[in-house]
Amino acid sequence: MRIEIPREFERLGAVRIYGLQKVYELDSGPEEAPTSARDDAVVRSLPAEAIYEVQREMAIVVPVRSERLKLIEGVLVGIPNPCLVIVVSNSPREPIDRHFLELESITNFCRFTRKQVLIVHQKDPVIAAAFAAGGFTDVLGKDSLVRDGKAEGMMMGTVLARILGRRYVGFVDSDNYFPGAVNEYVREYAAGFLIHGGDHTVVRISWHSKPKIVEQALYFAKWGRSSRRCNRALNQLLSHFTGFETEIVKTGNSGEHAMTVELAMSMRYATGFAVEPYHYIDLLEQYGGVIPTEHGDMRRLVRICQIESRNPHLHADKGDAHVADMIVGSLATIYHSRLCPVWLQQEIDAELRQGGYLKEGDTLKPIRLYPSLAGLNLEQFGAAAQSVVDRRVGASPASTGVVA
């Protein structure tokens, strides 16, 4: 892959947010002779072999809830073979057992492709018992099973990636229509780790465009209603502390992102549609050096890298109510952050009222947060979840050892 070297970054404490990096070639061929690498180069070529090396250490978590089987299969088609795939499904099992259909079709698919896949159901009592055994009961609901939600599925996937000894974890939504886009995202995750180092790096994708039909013609929109607002508020928050107006954040809402498993295990998660923007908030709260950190280690340098993908992004349209939830959820995490200044709170409040997202007399409710997974006893979790972990399809015997 040939990719731009970031030209700028904004820094707050130990957090560096790098400017958007453009991709110039999806495949730039094998390793170039060392003499061709120049100090003043503005682009870098990452050989396919190096990308595969990173992917061999990567787990890709695919959250699923009642998506069409054809879409899920397309997503799996796009994920490069060296990655371990962890499908976390919260599809209903009654009156029709949709999860059984998923299990059957994915397992079949993986046999042909020799893909390593672990398929788990969010409501699997074994997983719930493993969280309880590991002392992390926050994710469990009244019925003692893992709660509904994408964030909860992502947390499950992260722990499983850790137990299975992967170094990186990436997330790819299961409602993507283009396998080629999925393939590109996962290659870009690897490129981000290659460029920025694999210690405490987050890679977030900004879609180049999102095709829509406008007046019977295809229109390639760049920013959605929710991402525009979320990015602006995050940039305002940053500017407040740095004193310089900035537009550096382009991936506030990005569902397509990856990070080191170590970092993912040390971060807090927000529920609902706030999960993605909250990553920014948590990192800025913990590593920004503005307020006392609760779990962050300021000796770390946390790098957030943003890559602009080339494929258009097309996913299942879930309607206007869904967009409204996303706008409210993402702005609520910023509003309720301990970092948010009063003027920005007022601005967010006014914007939500003006847009009709907040009614007379309503206040913006805080989003429920989970503590970081660092409080989970991995050995206990691993022992209790062994039977689920053993259900992996396509794994080679050499790699079945569970690492706790």
Residues of the shown chain interacting with Co ion in the complex, contacts defined by CB under 5 A? 173, 175, 315
Closest-CA residue to 287 (of 171, 158, 204, 199):
199
Q: Which CB sits closer to ligand GDP, 6 or 272?
A: 272
Q: Give the single-character DSSP code of 140.
A: B
Cα distance between residue 242 and residue 76, in whole Å: 42
Cα distance between residue 379 and residue 136, in whole Å: 13
C-beta atoms surrounding 104 within 10 Å: 12
Residues 104 to 163 in contact with ligand GDP, rule: CB under 6 A: 122, 148-150, 153
Q: Facing residues of 25 across strands?
A: 2
**Per rule CB under 6 A, is residue 13 in the interface with ligand GDP?**
no
- Which spans in 30-114 are helix H? 48-55, 69-78, 98-113
Residues 6+ positions from 218 with CB-CB distance below 8 Å: 211, 212
- Sole binder of ligand GDP in the list 2, 22, 56, 65 (CB under 6 A): 65
- Sole binder of ligand GDP in the list 88, 110, 117, 304 (CB under 6 A): 88
Work out how close the CB of 359 gets to ligand GDP at its nearest, in angstroms, rounded to a whole number.
23
Q: Which does 63 bind (CB under 5 to 8 A by kind): ligand GDP, Co ion, none?
A: ligand GDP
- Sole binder of ligand GDP in the list 19, 78, 80, 255 (CB under 6 A): 255
Work out how close the CB of 317 gets to Co ion at its nearest, in angstroms, rounded to a whole number.
8
Work out how close the CB of 66 gets to ligand GDP at its nearest, in angstroms, rounded to a whole number.
7
- Sole binder of ligand GDP in the list 15, 20, 64, 85 (CB under 6 A): 64
> Residue 319 — left, alpha, or beta (φ > 0 → left; ψ -120 to 50 → alpha)?
left
Work out how close the CB of 276 gets to Co ion at its nearest, in angstroms, rounded to a whole number.
12
Q: Which does 174 bind (CB under 5 to 8 A by kind): Co ion, ligand GDP, none?
A: ligand GDP
Q: Which CB sits closer to Co ion, 2 or 65?
A: 65
Cα distance between residue 41 and residue 49, in whole Å: 21
Work out how close the CB of 90 gets to Co ion at its nearest, in angstroms, rounded to a whole number.
14
**Per rule CB under 6 A, is residue 90 in the interface with ligand GDP?**
yes
- Sole binder of ligand GDP in the list 315, 353, 368, 391 (CB under 6 A): 315
Work out how close the CB of 261 gets to ligand GDP at its nearest, in angstroms, rounded to a whole number.
18
Q: Facing residues of 370 across strands?
A: 269
C-alpha triplet 157, 160, 162: angle, nearest 5°: 110
Backbone angles phi, psi at 391, to 5 degrees: -80, 5
Q: Which does 148 bind (CB under 5 to 8 A by kind): ligand GDP, Co ion, none?
A: ligand GDP
Residue showing tokens 């719930």: 128
Closest-CA residue to 79 (of 165, 194, 172):
172
**Per rule CB under 6 A, is residue 212 in the interface with ligand GDP?**
no
C-beta atoms surrounding 186 within 10 Å: 24
Q: Which stretch binds ligand GDP (CB under 6 A): 171-179, 194-202, 289-297, 386-394?
A: 171-179
**Per rule CB under 6 A, is residue 252 in the interface with ligand GDP?**
no
Q: Which does 296 bind (CB under 5 to 8 A by kind): ligand GDP, Co ion, none?
A: none
Q: Is 274 helix (H, G, I), strand (E, B) or coil?
A: helix
**Per rule CB under 6 A, is residue 318 in the interface with ligand GDP?**
yes
Residues 6+ positions from 360 with CB-CB distance below 8 Å: none
Q: Give the single-character DSSP code of 31.
A: P
Q: Which CB sits closer to ligand GDP, 26 or 324?
A: 324
C-beta atoms surrounding 322 within 10 Å: 12
Work out how close the CB of 318 gets to ligand GDP at its nearest, in angstroms, rounded to a whole number.
5
Site residues, ligand GDP (CB under 6 A): 63-65, 67, 88-90, 122, 148-150, 153, 173-175, 255, 315-316, 318, 322
